[in-house]
Amino acid sequence: MNYFLPEAKISRDHGRLTNAGAWFVYPLYHPAAALRATAVLEDLRKDFQRLPEIVERLSSPEIPQSPKEQKPEASQTPLF
């Protein structure tokens, strides 16, 4: 995540689809973190449950098929 979103924080940005220039990034907690904290486990479950919605949204004509087609000023802006 830090490579694509250097200013991001996992505790703040997990579960938020973001356009990071040439890529769409959907940060998730590492599964090992969920073993240590129940709250992280619940967040991880919720974020995983949203994956079909995210794939569907990225497949819609409203969002370009290639992240490279996004305007540069939209870089690192959460899409939803």
Assess if residue 22 is contained within a domain.
no
Assess if residue 1 is contained within a domain.
no
Q: How far is CA 25 from CA 6, 19, 29, 45, 76, in A?
A: 12, 6, 13, 17, 9
pLDDT of 60 = 80
| Average pLDDT score over residue span 48-53 | 95
Assess if residue 4 is contained within a domain.
no
Are the CB atoms for 28 and 44 separated by under 8 Å?
Answer: yes
Assess if residue 38 is contained within a domain.
yes
Assess if residue 57 is contained within a domain.
yes
Q: What is the pLDDT of residues 54-78, one digit of tens each?
A: 999 888 877 655 444 444 444 555 6
48 has pLDDT over 90: yes
Assess if residue 58 is contained within a domain.
yes
41 has pLDDT over 70: yes
Count of domains observed in the chain: 1
Alpha carbons 63 and 51: distance in angstroms, whole number: 16
Tell me the residue range of the domain where 55 lies.
28-65
